Structures are given as structure tokens and as C-alpha cells.
Chain A
Amino acid sequence: MLQKSPKSLKSILIWTGVALVGAIAWGVIALSRGEKISAIWLVAAALGSYAIAYRFYSRFIVKRVLGADDTRATPAERLDNGVDFHPTDRRVVLGHHFAAIAGAGPLVGPVLAAQMGYLPGTIWIIVGVIFAGAVQDMVTLFFSMRRNGKSLGQMVRDEIGPVGGAAALIAVFAIMIILLAVLALVVVNALAQSPWGTFSIAMTIPIALFMGLYLRILRPGRVIETSVIGVVLLFLAIVGGGWVQNSSWAEAFTLSPQTLVICLVIYGFFASVLPVWMLLAPRDYLSTFMKIGVIGLLAIGVIIVAPQLQNEAVTDFALTGLGPVFSGSLFPFVFITIACGALSGFHSLIASGTTPKMIQKESQIRLVGYGAMLMESFVAIMALIAASILDPGLYYAMNIPVGVLGTTAESASAAVAGFGFTITPDALREAAAAVEEGSIIARTGGAPTLAVGIADILSAVFGGAAFKAFWYHFAIMFEALFILTTVDAGTRVGRFMLQDTLGNVWKPIGRVSWKPGLWGTSAVVVLAWGYFLYTGVTNPLGGINQLFPLFGIANQLLAAIALTLATTLLIKAGKLKWAWVTGIPLAWDVAVTLTASWQKVFHSDPRIGFFAQRERYADALAEGKVLAPAKSLDDMHAVVVNSTVDGVLAALFALLVVVVIANAALVCFRAIRARAPLPLTEAPYVESRIVAPAGLFPTADERRELAHAGVGRTEDETP
């Protein structure tokens, strides 16, 4: 006891310091009105809050609520087969898990949400991750780990019931299709009419094929060496893109959005039927390296440059709900739009996939589940900063749909002025010239805006203004690269789900090696997201504006399914008094998402409600009139069809989730009425023999244990 007290005094001082830094940063953010503040305050508020939450709240959940038990062997230890189950160092699992959960979502969502000012986004990204997102990821990881790594769908079926299970399965599939379409739309909007970007991204295909062959034939297993070659080639492709843009080849790589859609659909089909080693695996290595590298660079850039935020703290659009980037007021749409950076339902699929089969010790879920999600949230904060340091006039000129802005610098400048912001036509042309793009007007989707922000920050640190165009295309390449990896993998996963489900009806389709089944199901999946992608690029009302809310709603509804499962499991295990830990984020998420779904389906304002929009355009169409921004009767037809499909889909998502929640409520009711806890499908207790630290750095006690077990002196424990 006596020995411990000086250390705990030190720890109290450190944590008081951390809390002070966080509190001061929040104070600066909260109190500055009308004056510009430095982005560094956002970074400090985020890091301070994360540290406190990780140290105290996540520890409370792991120890008290879940009751993680380090004497209990994890599935990785019990079922170790050296293939999918094998105990892996916690820091390596953290790396794998972070690479799997981090994608374009936390980069794109905050950029769009910047329409409402930086404050609502910052608060939700930080508070949301602490109380909802990171909790969901960690708790799902825990429950799946206790069930030998079962998937979310299986757990819902086993623990809630077959009806809820079936609803969850359909929801996951439908959500996946919308996710792929929206992400592909972001890529299309970033590459359309940009020979530099299109060439660089096109080159990633031969680069990946080369890496695949190199790994297969020349140097099996030498992934690091292959990835280094790949990254060098990737940089050459970016530099080469600048050269292509100024050559006679430029025309061949200047593609319309429609052509890009066709290219992506064909690419997605082949990527899904080709063996993994040719395209998917090497692309995965590349995007993992790029992802970690760029996020690291950006963090360093933000801290060194400490740029001033140009965005307002809270814009009028937050209250009126009439923002041109996406419609709807702050509640619920800021939460829907930010999605992944604060709470992402998709993570529950990964937390119940490969990660739980690799964990060595139960308490490591804190580092892997909670920690990785805090990192993802930090990525979202940086994206919000990158969007908020841009001049608001430029931000709106890039993010309002083309139907409103027109295509010339003059028309865009006038349209932006109509929303109360100023940017001169010359400034717009200069901004495009600085990144060597033909035009940056109406480059919706978030990726180009983020790329301009990243280019501003990185060129201030590396290379100056002359390098701005390089960094812009570097950022575009980085986003497109991992969106395409998600599209590859997502199409494949969707195909497996379809094969699996249809295999119950007709056996041969279920067989993974039966080629016609493989091609057929791949084609169905590709055409499904391809359809939404195509409507996205042709919709006169703007694809991102229409589809992004649907994507956000879908993602948050999936989170509702995961949190429902977690709450049910806590109650079934007799831990009703702790059910608020997942129950409160669940209640909030359901309130937000069902409100958003309700508004998207029933709202009387045609800018928000899909069916009101349908009615407005259908009525005009019946009278033979053309309503702006539609330009022809065909456009009018397109709007009517799109609004109908989108409205039905929004209603379907909400309905499926309500079914799961209702089924779960029934189970919870029974569990509360029952005298003893209801039976769970947990794997039985087996004593663990592994000695491993729980957190990132081993404690003094853990070091002694490691040394005692004879594993503490290897290179991997002496960083």
C-alpha cells in the first residue's frame, strides 16, 4: 500500500492535467463567438476527452458491466488452429481492427455536416464516440468473443429469435447495397472530368495486379517489400497523372460521370469474381499503408500548421433545415450525416467477424474495441477541421448540387451569394487552377472538399503552394483507393450473403466454387448498387443530397440492431442495472434515426420528404410542366422514380429495425419477469494459460508476470 501511494499521486496529477487541458479547450470552443479560433482547440478537446473516457469509462464498462475475466480462455486460445483462430498480440489486433473499420465514412460525413457549422459536428463526434460508438464496438466485440466469434446476424437469431434474425439479415444486405452505391458515388464525383485523378486511380489496377503476381510467383509472403514497391508505383502514378493531364492522352481519361459508373460496375464485377490474390489482397495492403500514412501526416500537419477555422460555429442552416448541401434541420440530420465518425453500425459486423477470433485476453477488448473507435473518431475530427478551414464561399461552391450552381464560375458565384456567402468568379477559377483541375464547382460528395483542405494543410508543411496540386490529387487518390477496396470487398461479402441465402432454396447456388452461381450472384449485387449509383449521378436534384441521408440512416439503424442485441444480452444475463450503458445510446440512436426516417418518408416539405417530393414532381409532370432543377420531362420522370424508390427504402429500413427491436423487447420482458437469468449461448468457461498485458503498455505487475512466464524478454515487449 505504502509503495503504491506515490505512484497513484502521480497518476492523479497526470489525469487532473489531462482533464484541465480538455476542459480549457472545450471552454475556448464554447465561448468564442464571432471570432475565428484555431483548429488546435478542437484537437485538444478531442484528445483530452478521449483520454478521460478511455481511462475511466471504458474501464468501468469492461470491469463492472461486462465483467471481462482474464482467467477465462478466449476463443483464440481455446480454438487456436493457426488459421482464423489464433491468439495475436493486442497491438497487432488493434492495427488490423482499425484498418478494417476506418474508411471513407468518417472523412466524408463530417465534411458534409460542416454545413451546420463546426460546433454541432465536433460535439457529436466526441460525445457520440465516447458514449455510443466506442461502446457499441467494444461491447459487440465482447459478446461475439464470448460466443466463439459469431456474427451479428447469428447472435441476433440465437439470442433474440428467428424473426429478428431474418429482419437483421435483410437489413444488413440492403444497407450494404446503399453503402456501396454512396461510396462509389463519392469516387465518381471526385473523378468526373478529372484526367489527373482518373489516370492515377486507373493505374492502381495494373499496380495491384503486378503486386499480386509478384507475391504469388516471385516472392511469396513478402508483403512489406511488395507494399513498398506498390506505394512507390502509386506515387509515380500520381505524378504521372499530372503529366497525362497536360498531354494528348488527357481526353482519353476525361470521363463523364455516366461512363465512370459503367467502368466501376464492370470493375466491381471482375473484382468480385477474380481470385483474391490478384486484385483484392494487394489493393488491401496498399490502402492500409496509405490509410495509416495519410492519417498520420494529416495529424502532424494540423498540429504544426494550427490553421484557423473559417467556418461559423453554428450556421443558420442548422436551425432552418434549408441547407443546400443536404436538407433537414440539426436534429436529426447532423447525427445521420456524421454517421461513421461517432457511431457506425457497420463496425459491429467487423467486431463480430475476424477480430474476436484473435484476442488473447478478454480485457484487451478495451484497447482494441474502444481504442480503435476513438482513433476513428479522431480521423473524423480532422476531416471536420479540413472542411472548416476552407473559405465558406468555396465550401458551398463545391458542395451545392450542380442543378443549383450551374456550370460556370459566374453562375456558381451568384448562387452561393443567394445563400448569403461570397466568392468571386475569379476566386473560384483561381482555386481550381491551384489544384490544376478544370473546375471545382459542384464537386459534391465530400472527397474533393476534403482534398482541398488536406492540400492546404500539407502544402503548408511540405513543398509550399507549388505542391498544392500534387497533394490534392494525393488526397483524392487516397480516398478513392480505399473506397474502391471497400467496394471490392463489399461486393464479395454481399455476394456471399446472397449465395448463402439462396443456397437454402436451391443448393447449387450456395456452393462457392460453382461458377454460374458465383457470376450470377456477383452480377446481382453489382447491378443493385450500380442502379443506385446511376440514379445518383443522373438525379437532377443531386445524388449525394438525395442518397447520403439514406446511407446515414441505414448505418445508424444497423447500430440500433447491434445496441439492441447488446442491451438484450445484458438484461438476459441478469445485469438489468447496467443495461443503461447500451440502453441510453440505443434510445438516442433510435430516436434520431426513426425521426430521420419518418421525416424522409412523411415530411411535407418536398426538400426533405421523399414522397412529398414525388408528389410535387408527379403533379407537375401530369400537367406536362418541367420544374427546376430538372431540365426535361425525362428528368422529371427520373426524379419521380428516384423519390419513390428512396422513400420505399427508407421506410423498409425503419420497419426492419422496428421488427428487431420489438422482438428484442419481448425477450427482455421475459428475462425481467423470469426469476433466474435466461440461458445464453456463451461458450463455457475454460481456464486461460496465456500471459499477456491488457493495455497498450504493460503495467509493472504485468511485466513481472510476463517475466515469470518467460515471455517478457522477447523483442515484441520492448518497444
Chain B
Amino acid sequence: MVRFTRWYLRELTGVNEYDRYLDRHRADPHGPLLSRREYERLRIDRQDADPGSRCC
């Protein structure tokens, strides 16, 4: 249960995304490997162009 909650929160907030990026990059490397800082910047800055609606 604790493990599930931890996994769920990490997935929901996108904490696991960098690990997933590393896996992808390892499997199919194109371009230089981004550091965590660079990757997270790119990820959050993408929202500038597509913030997504929140509802009422």
C-alpha cells in the first residue's frame, strides 16, 4: 500500500518522467543526453505553449 501510494504520487506529479526519458534515450539515443535540470526545464516550458484548461 505504501509502495503503491509512493508510486502513484510520483507518477501523478511527473517525478518519474526523467527516469522514463533515460530509458527511452538508452533504447534509442538521438541527440545528446539531457541532464535532469535541462530536461525538467524543457518539460515545464512546453506548458507555456499549451497550458491546458482547468475546469470550473
Chain A: residues with CB nearer than 8 A to chain B? Answer: 82-84, 88-89, 91-92, 95-96, 100-105, 179, 183, 215-216, 220-224, 227, 275-277, 280-281, 284-285, 339-340, 344, 346-347, 349-350, 353-354, 482, 485-486, 489-490, 492-493, 496, 512, 555, 715-716, 718-719
Contacts and interface: CB of A to CB of B under 8 A. Distances in A.
B44 to A, nearest CB: 5
A490 B37 CA distance: 28
Contacts of A485: 54
B26 interface: no
Contact of A220 (B8, B36, B47, B48): B36
9 contacts: A100-B54, A103-B55, A220-B40, A221-B40, A275-B45, A277-B47, A280-B51, A340-B55, A492-B51
Contacts, number: 117
A350 B17 CA distance: 22
Contact of B53 (A83, A183, A281, A489): A489
Nearest to B12: A95
Overall SS of chain A's interface: helix
Given A82-B24, A349-B55, 6 more contacts: A100-B54, A222-B15, A347-B55, A490-B53, A715-B3, A719-B1
Contact of A179 (B18, B43, B56): B56
Interface in B2-29: 3-4, 7-15, 17-18, 20-21, 24
B4 A718 contact: yes
A183 B53 CA distance: 14
B9 A276 contact: no
B18 to A, nearest CB: 6
Interface of B: 1, 3-4, 7-15, 17-18, 20-21, 24, 36-37, 39-41, 43-56
Contact of A716 (B7, B13, B36): B7
A535 B52 CA distance: 28
A221 B18 contact: yes
Contact of B41 (A89, A220, A340): A220
Contact of B56 (A84, A346, A719): A346
B46 to A, nearest CB: 7
B20 A104 contact: no
B13 to A, nearest CB: 4
Nearest to B4: A719
Contact of B12 (A84, A96, A183, A222): A96
B45 A223 contact: no
Contacts of A179: 56
